[in-house]
Amino acid sequence: MSVTVALLLLRSAYLGTAEAASAPPLGTAVTFAVLGGTTVTNTGATLVTGNLGTSPGPAVTGFPPGVVVPPSTINAANAVSLQAQTDVTTAYNNLAGQACNVDLTGQDLGGLTLTPGVYCFPSTAAQLTGIVTLNAQNNANAVFVFQIGSTLTTATGASVNIIGGGSACNVYWQVGSATTLGTGTAFKGNVLSDTSISVTMGASISPGRAFARSGAVTLDTNSVSLAGCEAATPTPLPATQTVVAATQTFVAPTLTLVAATQTAFAATQTAIAPTPTRTTTPAVSCADDKLRPTGTLTGTGTDNLGHKFIRMTARDTGSGIATIVVTKTINAVTIVDGFVPGTTQPVLVTSTKINPAMTSIVELRITDRCGNFVLADPVLTLLSLDKVKALSQAFKNIPPEEHFVTVTNGAPGLKRLELVVNGIPFVLDNLKNNEVRALNVQTAMNKKSNRVKLIGSGKKGAAAFIIISDSAMEQPAALSEFIRAETQSATDNFTWGDLKDVK
């Protein structure tokens, strides 16, 4: 016997006025991704997209190995960072002065679904364990403000999820003391901390900013990016709104929130008061879930220091990606940014030193929120020569559907690439610098588990990125993107086959 249980939650009516959350003016700080009061320190292969600076303190350390993506720059205790810090103080005070709509004292943000508004922890700390969802309700200019009287701390693997057409650029965290983002946290929005900000290993703020007014910003193998947030702040909603009663219905077992009634009049705007709701299960049924994630090479190149780099993405057109795990690597260190379901997000692949005549390889395991997983395409390799003779790399256990090989040649690039698929040779000859070629080797992929051997030749220093996938990959014709992955230790072992010189 099946039993359907209905739970009706009727919140008491409230009629009055509430000030809408508004985005503060960031002034010159709008171009900064990271700004510290005393220092900015970094450990590991951190990537900062946006200006980085300190003021009044002068110390910036750990860049390199960290990278500030050009054309953004480092501004240590100069006139630019001084003005930016002044503008951060103005924005901080603006946020602190906004009227609170909902007091969340004593609540963990994890599991809450929030609508636009001002949320406060007037004199206490805020904690995020799990996922907080911000629903913009189909308003691209919706603003979320969090006023936190003490510290902001996130647990390992916590994340901020934005739905309903909203933008992380319009999310503001005004923190009364220190902010600590736990390992692997996928954070979003602008963090303005009165003292310090610590972004622990593998955590990301993307998109968003990390501004510490009087203390240090400490980074450790992170991604902080304001990409898409460089524009001016959005036009705020009217200063007052008439708030009417909101009736919310929850139906078991999915506990899906049914939309509340909203009424509009010619001269009066009415809205639902921002009310946190706790979500216990995904809105999409896992029984109907169709996981279709793919991995795609979107950029390769070198920076002005000669480092080789790559960027991969994974996308899911099903119910939404929950996690990405790098399951196999050789000569590479990876950073995985947090994911917004249904979108494309980056997987940053970096390493610490150049060692020609080695291959960088990355394999990703993508898991959706229903627990389904796949190994993402493509198999990605960088074949780089340190002397004028052929270099070989073998791959085992490739499924038959992975029958497209795409080559993005470097500058200098390979002159010749031979692919031996289950003993059958295919040759790409007379390769040109920066040339992209795709080859279909389906006729030779006649086994459940196939073997592909790559043999490249060219001048010393020649290199090419090679992708093995289930479709011809679109790649840039020139190696000019901005994420790096340098080859490193020559002693690594890899289960798909060890790299060796061909005599």
Model confidence pLDDT, tens digit, residues 368-377: 555 555 554 4
CATH topology assigned to domain 380-469: Jelly Rolls (2.60.120)
Higher pLDDT, 200 or 265: 200
Higher pLDDT, 203 or 317: 203
Q: Residue 217's beta-bridge partner residues?
A: 40, 197
Closest among 202, 167, 195 to 323, alpha carbons compared? 202
pLDDT tens digits, 150-171: 999 999 888 999 998 899 999 9
Return the percentage of the chain with pLDDT > 70, whole number: 55
What integer best gives the mean pLDDT of the chain? 68
Q: Is the peptide bond before 207 cis (omega within 30 degrees of 0)?
A: yes
State mean pLDDT over 92-116.
Answer: 94
pLDDT at 80 over 60: yes
What CA–CA distance (Å, rounded) separates 46 from 224? 8
What CA–CA distance (Å, rounded) separates 500 from 130? 45
pLDDT at 270 over 50: no
108 token code pair: 């963990």
What is the pLDDT, as a whole number, of residue 83?
Answer: 96
pLDDT tens digits, 281-290: 334 445 444 4
* Single-letter amino acid, residue 311: R
Closest among 212, 238, 202 to 338, alpha carbons compared? 202
What is the pLDDT, as a whole number, of residue 309?
Answer: 40
What is the pLDDT, as a whole number, of residue 325?
Answer: 53
Among 58-72, 75-89, 204-218, 322-336, the least confident range = 322-336
What is the pLDDT, as a whole number, of residue 454?
Answer: 81
Strands 344-350 vs 333-336: parallel, antiparallel or unpaired: antiparallel
pLDDT at 322 over 70: no
How deeply is 386 buried, as exposed, middle or buried, from its count of CB atoms within 10 A (0-12, 13-18, 19+)?
middle
User: Could you state, in order of their start, the residue ranges of all structural domains in the chain?
Assistant: 27-225, 294-377, 380-469
pLDDT at 296 over 50: no
pLDDT band at 460 (very low <50, low <70, confident <90, very high): confident
State mean pLDDT over 199-219.
Answer: 93
Q: How many residues does the chain have?
A: 503
Among 53-57, 139-143, 252-256, the least confident range = 252-256
State mean pLDDT over 459-464.
Answer: 72
Give the H/E segment covering residue 94. Answer: helix 79-96
Beta carbons of 27 and 192 less than 8 angstroms apart? no
pLDDT at 25 over 90: yes
What is the pLDDT, as a whole number, of residue 438?
Answer: 77
* Single-letter amino acid, residue 392: S
Return the percentage of the chain with pLDDT > 90, whole number: 32
Q: Is the peptide bond before 400 cis (omega within 30 degrees of 0)?
A: no
pLDDT band at 9 (very low <50, low <70, confident <90, very high): very low
Handedness of CA 465, 340, 42, 60 (dihedral sign): positive
pLDDT band at 479 (very low <50, low <70, confident <90, very high): very low
Higher pLDDT, 105 or 370: 105
Q: Mapped to the 3 state alphabet, what secondary structure does 191-206 carry?
A: EEECCCEEECCCCEEE
